Structures are given as C-alpha cells and as structure tokens.
Homo-oligomer: A and B are copies of this chain.
Amino acid sequence: MIRAVYPGSFDPLHNGHLDVIKRSARIFDQLTVAVLHNRQKPTTLFDIEERLAILREAIDGLPNVEAAMFEGLLVEFCRQSGARVIVRGLRAISDYEAELQVAHLNRQMNPAVETLFVMTATRWSFVSSTRIKEIAQLGANVDKLVPKASLDRLEARFGPPRV
C-alpha cells in the first residue's frame, strides 16, 4: 500500500490543486493533503482552520483522501504518518527549479521518502493562489478558478465580484 502526501499552503485551494489531488487519488492508495501551518510567519490570508475547512469541503466524496495540518519539517511529517511518497504539481519552469531544490534537500534529509511530480492540467497552468487573491481583492470574479468552498470565503473577505 502506498501512502502519499501532497503538501502546500493552500491559501486558498484552487482548481489546479484540486486537479493534482484527483489525479493522485487515482494513483495512490491513500493521499494526505498536508496544509502547512507556519506559526512564526502567519502571513496567509486564511488561517489554518479556514484553509483546512475549505480543503475538507472540496475533497468530500474522495474516499482515499484526507486533510491534515503539519508544522515543521515535511520529511518528519512523512515519517510520522508512514508516507513514502511526496506529491508535487508542476506548472512553470520557475516552479520546477524551486521544487527540485526542495526535493533534493528532502531526499538528503530522508532518503526513504521519494518526491514524485504530477503535471497540472494545461488549463490551470496559469492559476496560483497569489494571483487569485490579488484579483479577487480588486473585484474580479474567480468562480472559474477555485472550488465553491474557496469562493465563499473569498467573497466573505472581499465582497461579491464588482467587475
């Protein structure tokens, strides 16, 4: 049985993330979506409870997927939860380099855990949480880019789309 972990900030979850989750759930026996809680730099728009709540709404109906919070080193979280695989989505070249750097470092810290990269569908290749927050704040309608759970929270923050 292969248990995989898909880590991230998910601030908030968008359709590109959800695409990676669904693909991974079809490959691996068990998938844990691990939401990073950074107590020292609490710079996210949504706090850890909101981000977990959005995620739980969105993965409802995927039986082998669960949401969890993690702090500290990802490889340590993998060791504790018995995961042998870290899943990451690849979009652009700049992602790729940062991802490889982190993955090599994780391998150096724990060679028993392997990082596997999944391609994001081309239609979500331009979507990122940072951009979504930016344009939602300016009044854009992002209902094509995020699941309903994220949309509701974004509207609660920034009001309904004005443009």
Contact = CB atoms under 8 A, between A and B. Distances in A.
A43 interface: no
Contacts of A156: none
Contacts of A84: 26-27
Given A72-B139, A114-B26, A123-B122, A97 B105 contact: no
Interface string A98-128: 1011111101110000111111001101111
Interface in A69-102: 72-73, 76, 84-85, 90, 92-94, 96-98, 100-102
B90 A93 contact: no
Given A97-B94, A135-B73, A139-B72, A122 B119 contact: no
B27 A114 contact: yes
Contacts of A131: 101-102, 105
B119 A104 contact: yes
A144 B27 CA distance: 26
Contact of A97 (B93, B104, B127, B141): B93
21 contacts: A2-B28, A23-B114, A26-B114, A27-B84, A27-B85, A27-B114, A72-B139, A73-B138, A73-B140, A94-B94, A102-B131, A104-B122, A104-B125, A105-B126, A105-B135, A109-B141, A116-B116, A116-B117, A116-B118, A117-B117, A117-B119
Interface of A: 2, 23, 26-28, 72-73, 76, 84-85, 90, 92-94, 96-98, 100-105, 107-109, 114-119, 122-123, 125-128, 131, 135, 138-141, 144-145, 163
